[in-house]
Amino acid sequence: MGKQMTEMLKGTLEGIVLAILSVRPAYGYEITARLREQGFADIAEGTVYALLVRIERNGLVGVEKVPSEKGPPRKVYSLNVPGREYLEEFWTTWGFLADRLGQLKEEGK
């Protein structure tokens, strides 16, 4: 997309990935692919991997190495309890923001 999307993703991409992981565990390459399918066509692979390292370091996910038939072993991430709490906070924050924005959009027309 463009610069606007890039900036908007700051702060939300983390929540998006956590939300994906809340459905079921997944590994980086898979998450990137799913994002692309969902319309986030130009999210760089490197971005996702860096984000995964970060949320692991912050203790929001657990990791398990699983061998793959095609290529190097996968690092499968799964949301843990602190991760779920963090995701809840994310939805609250997002809800507040979406409310304000929705209101502003109404006023603007």
Q: Dihedral sign, CA of 60, 57, 18, 9?
A: positive
Looking at the DSSP assignment, which residues form a beta bridge with residue 74? 66
Least distance (Å) between residue 58 CB and a second copy: 11
Helix axes 45-57, 28-37, angle to 10 degrees: 130
Nearer to a second copy, 69 or 107 (CB): 107
What's the closest the beta carbon of residue 76 comes to a second copy, in angstroms? Answer: 19
Residues interacting with a second copy, by CB under 8 A? 1-2, 4-12, 14-16, 19-20, 22-23, 38-40, 87, 89-91, 93-94, 96-98, 100-101, 103-105, 107-108
